[in-house]
Structure 1
Amino acid sequence: MAGRTNRVALLADAAIELLAEGGMRALTHRAVDTRAGLPLGSTSAYLRTRQALIEAVVQRLADLDRADLAGHELPTGAPPPVPGPALSEEDLDRLAAGVGDLLDRWLTVGRSRTLARYACLLEAVHRPELRRILGHGTLLRVQARDLLARAGAPEPDRRGDQLVAFVDGLLFDRLVGAGALTAPTPGTPASRADLAAAVRALLRALTAA
């Protein structure tokens, strides 16, 4: 079983690179075989259909995202026993820096994964089952809502969703939008500081009464 799991992960990683380079049109069983350095027919032996291949890619992306998020968890826990924020300004500063670091990672070493994720999200418009697998947004929403509740923000559920939407839009802009041309170069201290400043500005607004 472990052998099959490892082989499917290898194939999914090769497929992610193909998606990042050429989008969904580049994703074929033969192309995955070639990219993975395996004999022709290897991908179809494990993932017989195109649907199975795409689902394996989406699952792999979700697993890798969860691993990244586990290392950048938002502060969570029970609300404070008395009214008032449980998170200080320093806490929010550290959180913004952590989110900035994570976004910068997804723009550099995780760039192919990020591009592949967007390709899969577009595919999920027509295949809702893929969106259910790509659950990093759900995890982020739970963490963001809890964070804003602990910071004393009004309407923390709604504002938590807004925080996630903003962060996702910021990532998209830096990857393929105008920000890709005007923002600091990803992978530099300036990039991480700029991303953190953007997140901190939003946190300041969302936690205001």
Structure 2
Amino acid sequence: MRGLTHRAVDARAELPLGSTSAYFRTRKALIEAVVRRLADLDRADVDRADVDRADVDRADVEATGPPTEPLGPRDLDLLAGRIAGLLDQWLTSGRTRTLARYACLLEATHHPELRDILSYGTASRTQARALLARAGAVNPEQRGNHLVACVDGLLFDRLVGAGSLTAPPPGSEQSRADLHQAVRTVLFAMAGTDLPETGDPPTRG
């Protein structure tokens, strides 16, 4: 973060000196712009992964708006697979961007004036609450927050934590399968749906 300066951005973007500061007058404004851009890119990834659509056909979504029908066990399993694929992407091609997001958020812990950047993480929580409400979860507001916290913690662990030492290599089929299992376990628990050890269909708990 010490290297994130107006002058450094000008140099990296090959712009005349002073260009960045003309748009973002303070360091706070510069960091906020970075976080906003990272959030936009992450949101685009989520949209491409159809994370909030379960198995609903895209044409139906475009015609009728966001889906509202209940989510069953099959939908939850499909959703877990899509989230796992997205996490694996953020561990590989999106690794640098994910690290940048964490660096910016850590900066906010040292500088209270940057706390506003945390609000860019509310979209994922809103989405999770809506999904869990469709799955029939008890208290989807709280559980949606918990789901995002768990998934983000999984990503952090695989990226910079001890999980990076034991997990399958990012980008591999084994990595996606392992992430799928982890997300599936958390998602079914938050939805209040039993996750059987056998291949039997899950039942509502």
TM-score band by shorter chain is 0.7 to 0.9
Q: Do structure 1's residue 34 and structure 2's residue 11 form an aligned pair?
A: yes
Q: Which amino acid aligns with 2:51?
A: E
Amino acid in structure 1 at the alignment position of 2:68: A
1:3-49 CA distances to partner (integer Å, 9 max, x unpaired)? xxxxxxxxxxxxxxxxxxxxx11112222222223343332333332
- Structure 2 counterparts to residues 51-200 of structure 1, below 5 A: 51-71=28-48, 72-75=50-53, 77-78=67-68, 86-125=70-109, 126=112, 127-132=114-119, 134=120, 137-200=121-184
Identity %: 64
Q: TM-score, normalised by structure 1?
A: 0.77
More deviation in 70-79 or 193-202? 70-79
Asked if structure 2 preserves the Cα contact closer than 8 Å seen for 1:144 and 1:164, the reply is yes
Distance in 1 (CA, whole Å) between partners of 2:25 and 2:187 is 46
Calculate the aligned-residue CA RMSD, in Å. Answer: 1.8
- 8 A contact 2:129–2:144 mirrored in 1: yes
C-alpha contact 2:52 2:131 (8 A) present in aligned 1: yes
Aligned to 1:27, the other structure's residue is in SS state coil
* 5+ residue gaps, structure 1: 1-23, 80-85
Aligned-partner SS, 2:2: helix
Whether the 8 Å contact between 2:168 and 2:178 is mirrored in structure 1 is yes
Q: What does the per-residue CA deviation read over 1:119-174, in whole Å, with 9 as the maximum and x for residues that have no partner?
A: 11122232222223x2xx32221221122222222222221111111001001001
Counterpart residue type for residue 67 of structure 1:
A
**1:184, 1:194 within 8 Å by CA — same for their partners in 2?**
yes
Greater fraction of residues in helix: 1
Letter in 2 for 1:74: D
Corresponding residue for residue 23 of structure 2:
46
| TM-score of the aligned structures, taking structure 2 as reference length | 0.78
Q: Deviations over 1:35-85 (max 9, x none)?
A: 223343332333332222112111111211221122233236436xxxxxx
1-structure distance, mates of 2:21, 2:100 = 20
Q: Structure 2: how far apart are the matches of 1:178 and 1:191?
A: 15
> Aligned in 2, Cα 1:78/1:183: closer, same or farther, shift over 3 Å?
same
| Matched residues, number | 177
Aligned partner of 1:101: which letter? G
